[in-house]
Chain A
Amino acid sequence: MNAFEYAAPTTKEQAVGLLADRWGDAEVLAGGTDLLSLMKDYLPTPKRVVNIKDIKELQGIKYSSATGLRLGALATIEELLSNAAVKKEYPALAQAAEGVSSPQIRNAGTIGGDLCQRPRCWYFRSGLGYFPKDDGGKDLIPTGQNEYHAILGNSGPAYFVHPSSLAPALIALDAKARIFGSAGWREVRVEEFFVTPNNDGDRETVLKSNEILGEIILPPAKGIRSATYEVRQKEALDWPLAAAAVALKMSGNTVQSARVVLGHVAPVPWRSQAAEQALGGKAIDENTASEAGSAAVNGARPLSKNGYKVQLARVAAKRALLQAAQGGA
């Protein structure tokens, strides 16, 4: 890890002032569970690390039935898990947090960090590049070791999957991200927070290098049934192979409207309108859930070694729907 300057501002304004005009010069530190391991591998080599953990305004979780849920970007995954309102009103979010299977990461890792973490792609992490290529300039991943890579939105040059555990649930629950920069606050839907990078210097979100993610706002979830289902090979310390979060607005026993979002299948959390449309006006049962699961992976284009993930994503969506129909608010 290269030597760096360390700053620990106590206000968001100071923090933003300490960040740089281009990516790579400064990095934001919160829980540190991702940034430190990246820096140890010399992936980013920032001149300055800005620790935002002391900014009180960005901490905490607040719920009101009238305005909904406000998640400080610095609230930990553990705070999310132990929040009774989250468990009751937003089960998809609570279940997604449960999927972060290491107590250490749950205690240190933050909600903002979960959304801003870098891809777990083993080419990227092994120092082979953000868009790894062979000596002839051809992308390595489509015919390489792509068993954990994208099956959707993978026309290149990005083939990784977005690793966020919480994003699919937040998108299903129609959350908004509030971003703070030198010009003050701006707001985007979490769905639009993520972007597929095209150039080497790009990142995976709409954040600019001198902005910070401040908070996440969820609308009240009255009448919404939601669930997250992750397909993980191991119980312990493992990433999902595929995941799905769903939120259903019910009218009696039938679906009035639905939001279906897949995780770990594309460079961004993948909202499937085809699956959502397949559910409209139907009751959720094994058949309708199965059909929606199949619709969710419409257009999937597996790479050489990840065809199995199409099946896993289909099953994740089906099981999330069945789970939501049985439980939820």
Chain B
Amino acid sequence: MPKYEWPEKSKRAVLGRRISKSDSPDKVSGRAKYASDVKRPGQLYAKFLRCPHAHAKVVSIDVSAAERMPGVKAVKICEKKGPGSEILWALDEVVGVVAVDERTAEDALQKIVVKYEKLPHLVNEQDLAGAGDRAKPAAEQVTGDPDKAFQEAEVVIEGDYGIPVITHCCLESHGQVVEWEGDNLTVYPSTQNVSGLVGQFAQPLKIPASNVKIRMDHVGGGFGSKFSPDSWGVESAHLSKQAGGKPVKTFLERDAELFVAGVRPSHFARIKLGAKKDGTVTAWEHHSWSTGGPTGGGMAPLPYVLSVPNSRKKHTAVATNTGPQRAWRAPNHPQACWLTFAALDDMAAKLNMDSLDFYLKNIQLAGERADLYRRELLKAAELIEWKKKWHPRGDPAPGHLKRGLGLGFHTWGGRGHASEARLTINPDGSVSVDIGTQDLGVGTRTVIAMVAAETLGLPVSAIKVNIGRAPDYPVSGGSGGSTTVGGVSAATRRAGQNALEELFAKVAPALSAQPSELEAVGGKVQMRDNPAKNLPWRQATARLGVTPLVVSGKNAAAASAADGKLTDQGVGGVQMADVTVDIETGIVKMNKFVAVQDCGLIINEKTAESQVLGSMIMGVCYSLFEERVMDEVTGRPLNANMEFYKLAGIGDIGDFVVHMWKDDPEQDARGVIGLGEPPVIAPGAAIGNAVANAIGVRVPQAPFTPARVLAALEKKGGLSS
């Protein structure tokens, strides 16, 4: 068995290079086909009637007029939504209609009469006192002796902080095309979980998993919200069957996409901190609360990154009549990061300390990665010119434009998930890699090709990568938790090394060498100690005769000693923001945003940087603009659209600087670690703290809108003209 490891840095031909995504030309030109572009022969369209009320009992449903409409092919009351059922959030689907086109299906929905009995609802949780019996407190957690630590603390601060529910806002909404052939189902989904969908469709439809095929080439955003078929996917399969097995296309309307297909839980907290006069943090106490819909919301990892020796933690989940939560890029970490670093930054301000010095003073609380954070803090500070530009709270410059700096740091896991790669070397020298994974637009295809190319000593263009089919290709995990790059790269590396072992056995006699003396480099199979003795790749593969070499490689989800160092988990990362706030209007503008990010061995520096840039854009969005707005009285959503659910445009994001931590041999030696999540965690903290530094007062709740900035300034009674 080969020793599975990455080549030494000096010997890498492909790994670490900047290579554009292989599917970018297809996407830019429009040749790339997403599931929402799929049009099957005879395709029908499904639409769902949605409950307008936040909490209601279904009294009766009359679908007869819709059924009679010309062009309508099937009408079905959704599972568990019949008369007598309880609806727990507005826009939940009640009845599905399939018709010859979208307009007919929509018009048919208008003809369905559902009578509801409205029930009491709660949609907003910021005011915990108003939550009544919807608030479910969890047991208090105590570490050390917080009471004593607060008594002994020389400085104590207390503050309220919060961040609201936001939504995933996938540009390609959730949905799929389903198509029956007898009892066999083919699904063209928009998913983060190609292999996993097979069983998830089979089980509720009561068909063997072996009857399900999944087909997907591209997906237009998931961010953690696209792992399952969803109720509407299963309903669509039922509706398709009812319509005679014809293909049925279902993609959510924008309102359901935003408010039903995935939201990130809110987090609010009253936080108390104790410290010594020299800045050493000694005591932490918080009472947090959150909602992620009908089941409430769990406690974010507070305090974040830094372990305060004495702490008391209390959390209350608040059940609301709102669309249920889904994993949103680094679940609960962005909330924890913002709450923690806002409170710490307020402590630094109270101590009259430069917050960079304050964090460096407390860096040992970061545990095993303390020294890495220290070095990353210093690098980020250099890139944003912290020491030159930082000032105590409240920019002393005259005029209405105030500039400030802020920072935050983060952590994440990122070990590769279970994944299997099947690598084929054909006698003509061509190579393909099959993996039942998906490329969320982040470069997974490209990374697989790079790893295979590196391993086989071939150019990247020589590798054909096949993904997005199940069960045709070997099973690979869902793309969540930043696990994909580690999983597919380790599996591909193993498959490649396994394949070479077999190929070398066939080629060795022709070179009068032992298989163990061979290597594949620069398009040749050659003797490691005597490269002059070689066969060009195609001559080497011709030794396979007429039978292609098909070899697998597997990565296991859990690490074991025999695994080598192909993938690992645990990263840090530091972000610093430079903002300008107009104190007359409360408008915050990004000047510069610096991210310093470690992630082990970097396969493709360009796509790695893109992950960070995308995260920073999302971070600016949720820091300055994003917020779900519900009407308290009616329980109805008000901004379930792209007009008032605000996202940044190119003019709103400022200058981004990404520094990948790639020159550190210690980090490189750890192998590949996922990057999808970590860089999206700290923007709220960095930007929120920069706003406080600029205007001299904390804006306690994100997003930092003109209304909130002006309210904070008014409370302070200061700078506003």
Contact = CB atoms under 8 A, between A and B. Distances in A.
Contacts of B721: 290
Interface stretch (A62-70, A90-98, A106-114, A232-240): A232-240
A126 B106 CA distance: 16
Contact of B634 (A101, A128, A238, A311): A128
Contact of B638 (A134, A145, A236, A238): A145
B103 interface: yes
B711 interface: yes
A3 B107 contact: yes
B126 interface: no
Contacts of B705: 233
Interface residues of B, number: 38
B646 A234 contact: yes
Nearest to B650: A236
A101 B646 CA distance: 14
Given A308-B706, A308-B707, A126 B638 contact: yes
B585 interface: yes
Nearest to B646: A234
B648 interface: yes
Interface stretch (B177-185, B504-512, B624-632): B624-632
A315 B721 CA distance: 9
B634 A308 contact: no
Contacts of B107: 1-3
B631 A234 contact: no
B364 to A, nearest CB: 40
A134 B633 contact: yes
Main secondary structure of the interface of A (DSSP, over half): loop
Nearest to B637: A126
B643 A120 contact: yes
A312 interface: yes
A19 to B, nearest CB: 24
Interface string B231-244: 00000000000000
Interface string A96-135: 0000010000000000000000001011011110001010
A87 interface: no
Nearest to A40: B106
Interface string A304-325: 0110100110010000000000
A195 interface: no
B585 A134 contact: no
A315 B587 CA distance: 12
Contacts of B641: 125
A42 interface: yes
Contacts of B644: 120, 122, 148
B642 to A, nearest CB: 8
B717 interface: no
A248 B657 CA distance: 45
A311 B631 contact: no
B586 interface: yes
A140 interface: yes
A210 to B, nearest CB: 27
16 contacts: A1-B106, A126-B636, A132-B634, A140-B631, A140-B633, A145-B629, A233-B587, A234-B652, A236-B650, A238-B646, A290-B721, A305-B707, A308-B586, A308-B707, A311-B585, A312-B585
Sorted nearest first, the 6 A-B pairs with minimum C-beta distance are: A236-B649, A235-B651, A122-B638, A308-B707, A308-B710, A315-B584
B584 A311 contact: yes
Nearest to B708: A308
Contact of A123 (B587, B631, B651, B711): B631
Interface string A236-266: 1111010000000000000000000000000
B648 A234 contact: yes
B21 to A, nearest CB: 25
B530 interface: no
A174 interface: no
B634 A134 contact: yes
A281 interface: no
B280 interface: no
B707 A236 contact: no
Given A305-B707, A312-B585, 9 more contacts: A2-B110, A3-B103, A3-B107, A122-B638, A123-B631, A140-B633, A231-B587, A234-B646, A311-B710
B638 A234 contact: no
A231 B625 CA distance: 15
B333 to A, nearest CB: 26
Contacts of A125: 641
Given A123-B638, A128-B636, A237 B631 contact: no
B649 A237 contact: yes
A265 B496 CA distance: 66
B467 interface: no
A20 to B, nearest CB: 21
Contacts of B720: 311
Contacts of A315: 584-585
A320 to B, nearest CB: 13
A79 interface: no
A144 interface: yes
Contacts of A308: 586, 706-707, 710-711
Output the residue of A147, A306, A311, A312 with the most chain B CB within 10 A. Answer: A311
Contacts of A140: 631, 633-634
Contacts of A148: 644
Nearest to B109: A42
Nearest to A120: B643
A206 to B, nearest CB: 27
B640 interface: yes
B608 to A, nearest CB: 27
A305 to B, nearest CB: 7
Contacts of A241: 706
Contacts of B584: 311, 315
A147 B707 contact: yes
Interface in A160-181: none
B639 interface: yes
Given A122-B639, A305-B707, A1 B103 contact: yes
A122 B629 contact: yes
A120 B706 CA distance: 19
A134 B579 CA distance: 42
A126 B640 contact: yes
Given A126-B640, A231-B587, A312 B706 contact: yes
A145 B633 CA distance: 10
Nearest to A127: B52
Contacts of B634: 128, 132, 134, 140
A155 to B, nearest CB: 20
Nearest to A3: B107
Contact of A235 (B630, B639, B649): B649
A130 to B, nearest CB: 15
B644 to A, nearest CB: 6
